[in-house]
Structure 1
Amino acid sequence: MDVKKNGEVSFWYADIGGVPGYRAPLPGNIEVDVCIVGAGFTGLWTAYYLKEAEPGISIAIVEKEFAGFGASGRNGGWCSGEFGWSREKYLSSGTREGIIEWERQLRSTVEEVQRVTEKEGIDCDFLMTDCLTFAQSPAQMERLREGYDEAMSWQVPTTRLELIDGPEAASRIRVANAQGALVRHNVARVQPAKLVRGLAEVVERKGVKIYEQTAVTGIEKGRVTTTRGTVKAKRIVRATEGFTHGIPGNERQWIPMNSAIVVTEPVPDEIWREIGWDGSQLLADASHAYCYAQRTRGNRIAMGGRGVPYRFGSKTDDRGQTQPETIEKLKAILYRMLPQTKALKLDHAWCGVLGVPRDWCATAGLDPQTGIGWAGGYVGLGVSTSNFSGQTLADLVLDRKTERTDLPWVNRQPRKWEVEPFRWLGVHGMYRLYHMADRNEAASGGKTTSRLAKLANRLTGR
């Protein structure tokens, strides 16, 4: 295993001096207006917008570890405003016009995150840029064209997306065998640990209490029970995303899907010139297994993708430590896309979980009978979507009817995941088929999309 550090939550914390210390735990039984479970992006953005709307509202956030311990402090740093779910599936809970409006509002979250970070003085390496999803075979290029045409049919503004050919794509980043790329404009690169830690400090300054080292053992109407005491609240928000399965009664709500990232040593200038990655564009590919990357503020390459996709019984990692075979797979993806990097060493590797609903579609809502709200199921698009969740949940908690509260994802309830071992078999079968599809396409010259990928999607309802 050729990597200096494995785990320790993430490189993003090493980048800011190491894993932070803990805030004080819940001191005992308390009563507040709103209790939020989980101090990641969703919970913190919800607290922020609640305090912006009603400065006098009392809010307590309870967190098992520390603010930003989960996906919020481990992700790839893409703030994309992207609609990455099946539009067709949302027709069961809304109209075509409602889905288009939701997508329009979701795109605005990138500028909203920028506005808040500038207003509140959060230094998170925020940089507006483009995202380039490369095709390295004719089949991948055809999938990009299909995705572009589908987005256009849903009236996504043409200024948001651009489809470019191979020479143009290679002129931006010299990805091997570039057939073309889908360009998403007006996205942003961030350092996620800086963003989540900065946001936690901001809400604290506004009067929100964050209690760490406080594990939740139950959520019911008006009450959150923890290992440190009980919080009584008229409104409760479950903002646990990939860790939702750990709350009794939610074991099959969303499963914790694993994703992993490796970070290189600082890249020398001569290699950057060979790559041609002169800006800080986000980078992805159109393979079925998929990868995502960014050029960091410190001139490293962070490359992420799926490792072991799901652990039996919804188990999670040990503070970000990932498997040696996952590191090797990510290194192979890096070399496949950017062979100019083969001389580079890897400084850090880690993994984390993201919440995946049974229909692979995000949701936010609040049950008026119990006063319990929730948001999540971002399927890897949480940096920007969590901001929109925070705005939406603040409206719902305060019983306000706004342009957000009637959107198709609000109060959507997908069916639960199957019991074990069926969900383990289904998820692992899906990713086995994806990897086989990629190998088959490569072996055949990549001329047509493998039917195995379509079978994988049908297998799990993706």
Structure 2
Amino acid sequence: MASTVFERNRPAESVVEHALQGTAHSVFWRDDLPAALTPDRPPLRGAHDADLVVVGGGYSGLWTALLATERMPGARIAVIEAQRVGWAASGRNGGFCEASLTHGHQNGMSRWPDEMPLLERLGHENLDAIEAAGAKYGMDFQFERTGVLSPALEQHELTWLHEMRDEAIADGDDHIVFLDQDAARAQVNSPTYLGAIWDKKEGMLHPARFAAELARVAEERGVVIFERSRVSGLDTSSDGVEVVTDGGRVRARQAVLATNVFPSLLKRNRLMTVPVYDYVLMTEPLSDAQMAEIGWQGRQGIGDMANQFHYYRLTKDNRILFGGYDAIYHYGRKVRTEYENRPQSWRRLAEHFFTTFPQLEGLRFTHQWAGAIDTSTQFTAFFGTARGGRVAYAAGFTGLGVASTRFAAEVMLDLLGGVENERTGLRMVRRRPLPFPPEPAAAIGINLTRRSLDKADHNEGRRDLLLRTLDALGLGFDS
């Protein structure tokens, strides 16, 4: 099989070792938060009453609480978080805030082609609402409407770029721009780039600040947030629901489950997602001379086009976040802290970083971390209600949920309110995807799929029988 650019142009081992020397195992985004945005909220103690209780203090739970204050003025709303606000995926992701509700145009077209014009309009409206929320609520989450660059690194990927260009032209999407090799490298000076597509409408933000600001504004509007309170039970009665923790309970008329990758409180959803671990590096701030070497004046987010892809972006102080490629599933569907420590993944990322930017030799990484992604078989979120319509849920964002969590919050509130509209009428909302199989079939299938994706990247993108079969069945696994 053919080699990839990362195998053809490996950096010297000494370059990688120098860059990783002294790197802290810590999430940069959370370390970068000012103390004012990290108040020490109390755990849940005793019995409380509410109109709405939200389980989960990440983006989807916080958006639900905040939007509920607008829909239900004066309502008593409580959020219960097992750790700290934004502790999990919401505080660890790359900060790509994209309009797609379907994990990209191609995935949506393969599943809901007749709904795609509506889904894309709703997605762009949702992204616009997130940008507007900064001014509306006085939030600073370092939002930048820079767009996202998708470079081709291998010859066969240029064919994909041309197809994307032709489709954008046919659809009249003037915000999607095709760049040949010279134009791509004029935007970001990487010797790996053969061309690129630039979607100019997408945004970037500071993930942990986003969660922290959502929590701050929700509290200012009367929402009560309990931290360090792991929910152990969900009981339903004729007049409402009760959420139980070790230290207390909240009785409410309705509940929202926004637990993302963690095991659902509903048995029906236990097989709907699997946790896939993603690994990330963050550099020290680049000097002006280093920035001049790589260009990147447009500050776009970047995600290459391979099956095992990398994503990278600039921070406000010109650090480079570099993540992706490895997507590791551990037998048993568990979410465990020890899975976050994988030196071989960080070393591989460091090698790929210096293949991408050899002119930055000598740069060090200050932070390395990992987190679990809630992967669904349809590559994007699914929705529903339970317990006689008193409980709503959304999960399965599959790594592209920063923006779509707001859409999910709207959907969950619609479902609880019995609202019929464009959102709740979507087949993507009304139909559940296929579940993942139980073990050991899940581990066998996922790891065989990862192997096939890697093989495709080494074989001019050609998908083998396993991948073609999964495509035909509408099953997916995000690399």
TM-score for both structures, normalised by structure 1: 0.90
SS at match of 1:390: helix
State the Cα deviation string for residues 345-389 of structure 1 (Å, max 9, x = none).
111011111211133232223347242111121111111101111
Work out whether residues 99 and 408 of structure 1, in 8 Å CA contact, stay in contact via their aligned partners in 2.
no
SS at match of 2:335: coil
Confirm whether residue 451 of structure 1 aligns to residue 469 of structure 2.
no
CA distance in structure 1 between the aligned counterparts of 2:392 and 2:132, rounded to whole angstroms: 26
SS at match of 1:302: strand
Tell me the equivalent position of 1:210: 225
Tell me the equivalent position of 2:10: none
Alignment of 1:86-125 (within 5 A): 86-88=107-109, 90-91=111-112, 96=114, 98-125=115-142
Work out whether residues 424 and 430 of structure 2, in 8 Å CA contact, stay in contact via their aligned partners in 1.
no
Superposition RMSD on alpha carbons, in Å? 2.4
CA distance in structure 2 between the aligned counterparts of 1:17 and 1:311, rounded to whole angstroms: 34
Displacement of 1:64 after TM fit? 0.4
User: Which stretch shifts more, 367-376 or 195-204?
Assistant: 367-376
Q: 2:54 aligns with which of 4, 12, 36?
A: 36
CA distance in structure 2 between the aligned counterparts of 1:99 and 1:187, rounded to whole angstroms: 18
CA distance in structure 2 between the aligned counterparts of 1:150 and 1:362, rounded to whole angstroms: 25
Confirm whether residue 127 of structure 1 aligns to residue 138 of structure 2.
no
Work out whether residues 335 and 342 of structure 1, in 8 Å CA contact, stay in contact via their aligned partners in 2.
yes
Tell me the equivalent position of 1:445: none
Q: In structure 2, list runs of 5 or more residues that go unmatched.
A: 1-16
Work out whether residues 58 and 258 of structure 2, in 8 Å CA contact, stay in contact via their aligned partners in 1.
yes
CA shift in 2, pair 1:70/1:292, >3 Å: same
SS at match of 1:67: coil
Tell me the equivalent position of 2:432: 413
SS at match of 2:131: helix
Q: 1:256 aligns with which of 270, 275, 286?
A: 275
Work out whether residues 3 and 348 of structure 1, in 8 Å CA contact, stay in contact via their aligned partners in 2.
no
CA distance in structure 2 between the aligned counterparts of 1:397 and 1:260, rounded to whole angstroms: 36
Q: 1:241 aligns with which of 242, 253, 260?
A: 260
Confirm whether residue 304 of structure 1 aligns to residue 319 of structure 2.
no
Q: Aligned residues: percent identity?
A: 29
CA distance in structure 2 between the aligned counterparts of 1:403 and 1:427, rounded to whole angstroms: 34
Displacement of 1:234 after TM fit? 2.1
Tell me the equivalent position of 2:8: none
Displacement of 1:34 after TM fit? 1.0
Q: In structure 1, list runs of 5 or more residues that go unmatched.
A: 442-447
Alignment of 1:121-160 (within 5 A): 121-149=138-166, 155=171, 157-160=172-175
Displacement of 1:212 after TM fit? 0.9
Q: 1:165 aligns with which of 161, 177, 180?
A: 180
CA shift in 2, pair 1:55/1:380, >3 Å: same
SS at match of 1:383: coil
AA in 2 matched with 1:421: P
User: Which stretch shifts more, 298-307 or 227-236?
Assistant: 227-236
Tell me the equivalent position of 2:403: 384
CA shift in 2, pair 1:408/1:250, >3 Å: closer
AA in 1 matched with 2:278: S
SS at match of 1:127: coil
CA shift in 2, pair 1:338/1:317, >3 Å: farther
CA distance in structure 2 between the aligned counterparts of 1:326 and 1:161, rounded to whole angstroms: 32
CA distance in structure 2 between the aligned counterparts of 1:316 and 1:250, rounded to whole angstroms: 16
CA shift in 2, pair 1:376/1:248, >3 Å: closer
Displacement of 1:152 after TM fit? 6.2
Displacement of 1:429 after TM fit? 1.9
SS at match of 1:350: strand
Tell me the equivalent position of 2:6: none
CA shift in 2, pair 1:90/1:30, >3 Å: farther
CA distance in structure 1 between the aligned counterparts of 2:189 and 2:38, rounded to whole angstroms: 38
Displacement of 1:249 after TM fit? 5.5
Work out whether residues 252 and 419 of structure 1, in 8 Å CA contact, stay in contact via their aligned partners in 2.
yes
Confirm whether residue 50 of structure 1 aligns to residue 68 of structure 2.
yes
User: Which stretch shifts more, 324-333 or 68-77?
Assistant: 324-333
SS at match of 2:202: strand
Work out whether residues 133 and 284 of structure 1, in 8 Å CA contact, stay in contact via their aligned partners in 2.
yes
Displacement of 1:196 after TM fit? 0.4
Confirm whether residue 375 of structure 1 aligns to residue 413 of structure 2.
no
CA shift in 2, pair 1:151/1:231, >3 Å: farther
CA distance in structure 2 between the aligned counterparts of 1:22 and 1:320, rounded to whole angstroms: 27
CA distance in structure 2 between the aligned counterparts of 1:373 and 1:339, rounded to whole angstroms: 49
CA distance in structure 1 between the aligned counterparts of 2:61 and 2:116, rounded to whole angstroms: 24
SS at match of 2:178: strand
TM-score for both structures, normalised by structure 2: 0.87
CA shift in 2, pair 1:16/1:389, >3 Å: same
Displacement of 1:35 after TM fit? 1.1
CA shift in 2, pair 1:354/1:455, >3 Å: same
Q: 1:23 aligns with which of 27, 36, 41?
A: 41
CA shift in 2, pair 1:185/1:319, >3 Å: farther
Displacement of 1:138 after TM fit? 1.4
Tell me the equivalent position of 2:194: 179
User: Which stretch shifts more, 248-257 or 166-175?
Assistant: 248-257
Work out whether residues 263 and 301 of structure 1, in 8 Å CA contact, stay in contact via their aligned partners in 2.
yes
Displacement of 1:45 after TM fit? 0.6
CA shift in 2, pair 1:423/1:378, >3 Å: same
CA distance in structure 2 between the aligned counterparts of 1:457 and 1:72, rounded to whole angstroms: 33
AA in 1 matched with 2:315: T
Work out whether residues 218 and 248 of structure 1, in 8 Å CA contact, stay in contact via their aligned partners in 2.
no
Work out whether residues 90 and 408 of structure 1, in 8 Å CA contact, stay in contact via their aligned partners in 2.
no
Work out whether residues 426 and 459 of structure 1, in 8 Å CA contact, stay in contact via their aligned partners in 2.
no
CA distance in structure 2 between the aligned counterparts of 1:395 and 1:3, rounded to whole angstroms: 50
Displacement of 1:451 after TM fit? 3.1
Tell me the equivalent position of 1:229: 248
Number of matched residues?
447
Work out whether residues 168 and 174 of structure 2, in 8 Å CA contact, stay in contact via their aligned partners in 1.
no
Displacement of 1:449 after TM fit? 2.2
User: Which stretch shifts more, 81-90 or 274-283?
Assistant: 81-90
Work out whether residues 178 and 196 of structure 2, in 8 Å CA contact, stay in contact via their aligned partners in 1.
yes
SS at match of 1:288: coil
CA shift in 2, pair 1:214/1:139, >3 Å: same
SS at match of 1:244: coil
